[in-house]
Structure 1
Amino acid sequence: MFCFQCEQTAAGSACTGKAGVCGKKADTAALQDQLTSQLIDLAISARGNERYLTPAIDKMVLECLFATVTNVNFDDHVLTQLIDRVEREKARFNDKHSCQHDGCQSSTNYDISQLWNSNEDIRSLKSLILFGIRGMSAYAYHANVLGYHDKEVARFFYKALCAIGSQDAEMDTLLPVVLETGAINLRCMELLDKANTETFGTPEPRQVSLTVEKGPFIVISGHDLYDLKELLKQTDGTGINIYTHGEMLPAHSYPGINKYPHLKGNFGTAWQNQQTEFADIPAPVLFTTNCLMPPKPSYIDRVFSTEVVAYPGVTHIGEKRNFTPVIQKALSLGGYAKDMHFTGINGGKSVMTGFGHCTVLSAADTVIAAIKEGMIRHIFLVGGCDGAKPGRNYYTEFVQKAPEDSLILTLACGKYRFNDLNLGTIGGLPRLLDMGQCNDAYSAIKVAQALADAFQCSVNDLPLTLVLSWYEQKAVCILLTLLHLGIKNIWLGPTLPAFLSPNVLDFLVEKYNITPVSTPENDLTKMLSH
């Protein structure tokens, strides 16, 4: 196998052995590469005939790309089925819609190994595009589930796949596609934000308990709010309580979801701790999206999946979302005999969430006044992915050592390193504002742009620093969006992506001043000196 799409890739270079660090086996990696190759073939076949693409084909492309994101699909049988679907669609497409324009390839047999073995700069730029659209496919998929579509977003996936499969692409032709990936992802995140708020209401700040009450319960993880809503409806009146986990925490802030009284709180911390945290809980766990770690034999019978998540031996809930097997398992296990008072990593008994762009911007006058009066000297956005690799305690220490006259915005599961800390208030606001998950990065962008407008300057001139941690492909597409917006001075860690060649990295450093994190003390000194 050859895989270097996540931050924890072996030796900071690439996973090349019998299995990846994420637990993905070489055979599974090969099937995911084959699936990607088939998608590139389909995109090349469709070039010049985009008018014949249908919403059903678009949905299939999203599902297939999403299945290749880290910690989503480990099931060879499911991946083989997806490959067969794409092959059949490509065959039908070629039979019915032969390409008419000059230079069109109506049929091809692209092999993704051509990408892994190509010139390192070309490989680097194509990898940015590929990993970017894999991450973006997750956002588009979630919006699609709620009935929200964007034709421009859908069509870009084919354009990007064609760029990846191009045999004569050069750096100067790939760089614009890299930045366009960021531009389209911004449009995609805006679509998802609209889908979530129009479906479930505008997020509101909410204190979320970390206590699990006695009696049967279900833990639900991932990002898909529709799955949670359906689970809440089907468990209403059963005596089963529901607890979010990991990426699902922000669901508590949506009025259309928190109206259910049996949505009780949050269990556990970030995704990489699940093998320990799920080991002996007397309840089932439902995964709606990534990040699934290979379940241990001791609890695999209590794990269920939906959507594109799949793992051998795990019961999968189909598109009709009949959660009866999960409910029956919860009732049979019975839950705890008494209330269990869990805490966050730092000992906190509850966490806050729900500071989306509408909430923060409603207090914009307060923030602006506090900045002008010197009460808020600086704003730090400390967000991104969490992971098991050493070095991520940097983000906890950074938040703890940030000056008391600074405001901390956070999003994504990296916040579990510090979201149970009590940092006090500033200017009438909590110093730590949880804006949601990676799906909610649009909120951070909206707030930054609003502050720039208020101070009549660019985002780069604000007393604002972005300190980002990355792990998988959704972090890649968010980074590309920030670059598309021209945002500079981003601090990135805990390590830089293995797929960035020295020349591409030099370009990003020179043009955007992307800086690798070092130590909280040194970095804070530099950030506050500008």
Structure 2
Amino acid sequence: MFCFQCEQTSRTDGIAGCHTAKGVCGKDETTADLQDVLIYQLKGLGQYSARLHKLGQLDQAADSFIMYGLFTTLTNVNFNRAVFQELIAEAARIRDRLRDAYEAAAVKAGKVPGQLSGPARFAPADSLPGLLAQAQIASVRAGVEVVGEDVVGLRSLILYGLKGVAAYAHHAEVLGQAREEIYAGIAHALDFLATEPVDINALLEEALALGRLNFTVMEALDAANTGNFGAPVPTAVRTTPVAGKAILVSGHDLRDLHNILEATKDKGINVYTHGEVLPAHGYPKLHAYPHLVGNYGGAWQNQQAEFAAFPGPIVMTSNCLIEPQPSYRNRIFTAGPVGWPGIRHIKNDDYAQVVQAALASPGFAETAPEQTILVGFARDTVLGVAGTVVDAVKSGAIKHFFLIGGCDGAAPGRNYYTDFADHAPKDSVVLTLGCGKYRFNKHDFGTIGGLPRLLDIGQCNDTYSAIQIALALANAFECGVNDLPLSLVVSWFEQKAAAVLLTLLALGVRNVRLGPSLPAFLTPALLNVLVEKFGVLPVTTAEADIAASLNRQAA
């Protein structure tokens, strides 16, 4: 086992990466190795799919499987080794289908089919011991002694960014936004990785291409969310309980939340959001459900205590699952790509067991005094008052914007983001997205120019909104994004954040502050490239970074 794809990775024994019997996230060695084998297979599927796309043929079921398979390997998503054995077997069957389709399509086009090698020819063993024996060739560090740490680091940046792209694309696909250019782009990236590239410049260009692809994916996801549920609007969200039976929905997936709301209509069950589902309250068609009563708890890393205290069933819809504790193991459910051994999984959108569990649970005995937080400041809302914002900047009422985005986590150092938000000057606006906002979204930031100083854009899935706001402001001021009084402070945790970072770099956004610790797969040489070529800035202290941001703008 070796894994260093997320911020919580072990950095002990002089090795940056989880390499013992169990990762920090709770993933055991067997599951980690099976995930590596699946990723190796998906590269093979990508080899055939990429060629089919070039020949004008689409196997949407295969491309959808590729995205889903990548998603299951994200940090804190699926820990069930049996699921990965099934996916590995299914990947082999799909590979054979794609191979036959490619060869037929090539002949039809008057071409000689290429004889592919590497992952495209991989034959998985038919037993668990056999699969584990094959995992060595699929390790992210395979061949490091030949190609070196820098090449392995850049390959890893592309792979992990690709996992984030696939996750966002899956969220969009289940809501009806399936696009061939996205399928083709993901297949191309897998095909590229299957060649085991060693050229640093080619790897960097591929990383930027992946960032550009992710921008398309984020646009599709935005269209999926707003097309299904309306454009978010400012909404006060209750954060204290209401008496009655209750279900808690965590993760990211708005489709699952909508399905649960439908399944619980008129059943006397209140639905609460948790973690990254909080922004759902700003979507008009979701907010219209009267039994979507509020948000419970905070960011993902606190779930074990919060889930234990919640008096009803919990549904985990996407990444951010931590090992379920005995106190709630019998009332937590997983959905979509998520899984844990022994935990009930929702299939075919059948939430009957969740409803039954809610009706059998005590629920909240009484209603607590109401407290609220404000969400729903996505691009339509902010751009709707763009004139006011521009006037406030020109008059000097607003002197700077700080976008504090990204994931929260349990590792030391994340108080940096609280300090940054709290110490941002009173004549600045703080934009936020991602669950890192839970560290400060209940603080009183007051108002500025008739607007709240803290504007919650949404979850990490809403990055497109943040980018569109920045582009619109740049257009209003007739300047580039890098010339705006805007500073980006990104707390990375897992692979979705890697995809977002690549998008920002591909768009030419500079001076992105990244922390609290840097990815373990970024070698000193690669970090120097990001600093010198793209202006990436490792975080220091909140006070120093705020001062540097303001000084840069003044200069």
Equivalent residue number for residue 112 of structure 1? 138
2:449 corresponds to 1:421: no
Other structure's SS at 2:488 match: strand
Equivalent residue number for residue 318 of structure 1? 347
Q: What is the CA-CA distance between 1:313 and the residue it aligns to? A: 1.3
Equivalent residue number for residue 17 of structure 1? 20
2:494 corresponds to 1:472: yes
Once the two structures are superposed, the pairs formed by residues 221-232 of structure 1 within 5 Å of their partners are 221-232=250-261
Equivalent residue number for residue 270 of structure 2? 241
Q: What is the aligned length?
A: 523
Deviations along 1:123-182, one digit per CA (max 9) or x if unpaired, are 111111111110011111111111111111111111111111213541122111100000
Other structure's SS at 1:336 match: coil
Q: What is the CA-CA distance between 1:340 and the residue it aligns to? A: 4.0
Q: 1:445/1:47 Cα in 2 relative to 1: closer, same or farther (>3 Å)?
A: closer
Alignment match of 1:434 (pick from 447, 456, 461): 456
How far, CA to CA, are the matches of 1:392 and 1:2 in structure 2?
25
Deviations along 1:380-416, one digit per CA (max 9) or x if unpaired, are 0011000000110111111111110000000000000
Other structure's SS at 1:194 match: helix
- Residue identity opposite 2:473 in structure 1: L
2:379 corresponds to 1:379: no
Which shows bigger deviation, 263-272 or 4-13? 4-13
Q: What is the CA-CA distance between 1:339 and the residue it aligns to? A: 2.0
Deviations along 1:224-273, one digit per CA (max 9) or x if unpaired, are 11111111111111110000000100100111111010100000000000
How far, CA to CA, are the matches of 2:519 and 2:112 in structure 1?
38
Once the two structures are superposed, the pairs formed by residues 54-65 of structure 1 within 5 Å of their partners are 54-65=59-70
2:321 corresponds to 1:292: yes
- Residue identity opposite 2:543 in structure 1: E
Q: Is the 8 A contact 1:163 1:174 kept in 2?
A: no
Equivalent residue number for residue 523 of structure 1? 545
Other structure's SS at 2:19 match: coil
How far, CA to CA, are the matches of 1:237 and 1:401 in structure 2?
46
2:362 corresponds to 1:357: no
Once the two structures are superposed, the pairs formed by residues 252-331 of structure 1 within 5 Å of their partners are 252-319=281-348, 321-331=349-359
- Seq. identity, %: 49
Alignment match of 2:511 (pick from 489, 495, 505): 489
Q: Is the 8 A contact 2:27 2:79 kept in 1?
A: yes
Q: What is the CA-CA distance between 1:108 and the residue it aligns to? A: 2.5
Q: Is the 8 A contact 1:126 1:163 kept in 2?
A: no
Q: What is the CA-CA distance between 1:312 and the residue it aligns to? A: 0.8
Equivalent residue number for residue 444 of structure 1? 466
Alignment match of 1:143 (pick from 150, 163, 172): 172
Tell me the TM-score normalised to structure 2 length: 0.92
Q: Is the 8 A contact 2:402 2:431 kept in 1?
A: yes
Equivalent residue number for residue 154 of structure 1? 183
2:214 corresponds to 1:203: no
Alignment match of 2:51 (pick from 48, 51, 74): 48
2:109 corresponds to 1:87: no
Deviations along 1:330-350, one digit per CA (max 9) or x if unpaired, are 1111212112459xxxxxx32
Q: Is the 8 A contact 2:252 2:276 kept in 1?
A: yes
Tell me the TM-score normalised to structure 1 length: 0.96
Q: 1:260/1:505 Cα in 2 relative to 1: closer, same or farther (>3 Å)?
A: same
Q: 1:68/1:341 Cα in 2 relative to 1: closer, same or farther (>3 Å)?
A: farther
- Residue identity opposite 2:438 in structure 1: Y
Which shows bigger deviation, 266-275 or 287-296? 287-296
Q: Is the 8 A contact 2:312 2:362 kept in 1?
A: yes
Equivalent residue number for residue 181 of structure 1? 210
Other structure's SS at 1:499 match: coil
Which shows bigger deviation, 41-50 or 430-439? 41-50
Other structure's SS at 2:403 match: strand
- Residue identity opposite 2:360 in structure 1: S
Equivalent residue number for residue 3 of structure 1? 3
How far, CA to CA, are the matches of 1:249 and 1:393 in structure 2?
21
How far, CA to CA, are the matches of 2:361 and 2:341 in structure 1?
22
Q: RMSD of aligned C-alpha atoms?
A: 1.5
Alignment match of 2:35 (pick from 29, 32, 37): 32
Q: What is the CA-CA distance between 1:280 and the residue it aligns to? A: 3.0
Q: 1:366/1:332 Cα in 2 relative to 1: closer, same or farther (>3 Å)?
A: same
Gaps of 5+ in 2: 124-136
- Residue identity opposite 2:545 in structure 1: D
Equivalent residue number for residue 345 of structure 1? none
How far, CA to CA, are the matches of 1:420 and 1:77 in structure 2?
41
Q: What is the CA-CA distance between 1:222 and the residue it aligns to? A: 1.4
- Residue identity opposite 1:7 in structure 2: E
How far, CA to CA, are the matches of 1:233 and 1:186 in structure 2?
31
Deviations along 1:407-448, one digit per CA (max 9) or x if unpaired, are 000000000000111100001100000000000010110000
- Residue identity opposite 1:28 in structure 2: T
Other structure's SS at 1:212 match: coil
Q: Is the 8 A contact 2:49 2:63 kept in 1?
A: no
Q: What is the CA-CA distance between 1:44 and the residue it aligns to? A: 2.1
Gaps of 5+ in 1: 343-348
Q: Is the 8 A contact 2:49 2:184 kept in 1?
A: no
Other structure's SS at 1:482 match: helix
Q: What is the CA-CA distance between 1:54 and the residue it aligns to? A: 1.0
